[in-house]
Amino acid sequence: MNKMKIASYIILIASVLAILYALIFNPADWIVYAIAIVCIPFLVLSFGLLTMSKPIKEEEEERREEPFTGY
């Protein structure tokens, strides 16, 4: 596993735990707002990075030959 996948998994797990904490334990309003502002975008970002890191079978060889340069 590369560093990007590991970091994405860590961010995903931390975001899910923080969101569950806000839902279950009912903290103060400002804590819920802070979790919503920070953790929900991180959840979406890490999920997107994980899904994009898995190559399609047709692209596996192409990714090995040349690095990703962006669109």
pLDDT tens digits for range 35-69: 999 999 999 999 998 888 777 777 777 766 766 66
Return the ∠ at Cα 41 (arms to 67 and 37), rounded to 5°: 150
- What is the pTM for the complete model shown? 0.74
Contact call for residues 55 and 63 (beta carbons, < 8 A): yes
pLDDT at 35: 93
Alpha carbons 49 and 13: distance in angstroms, whole number: 14
Q: Does residue 70 register a pLDDT over 70?
A: no
**What number of helices (H) and strands (E) belong to the chain?**
3, 0
User: Domain map of the chain by residue range?
Assistant: 3-52
3-state secondary structure at position 60: helix
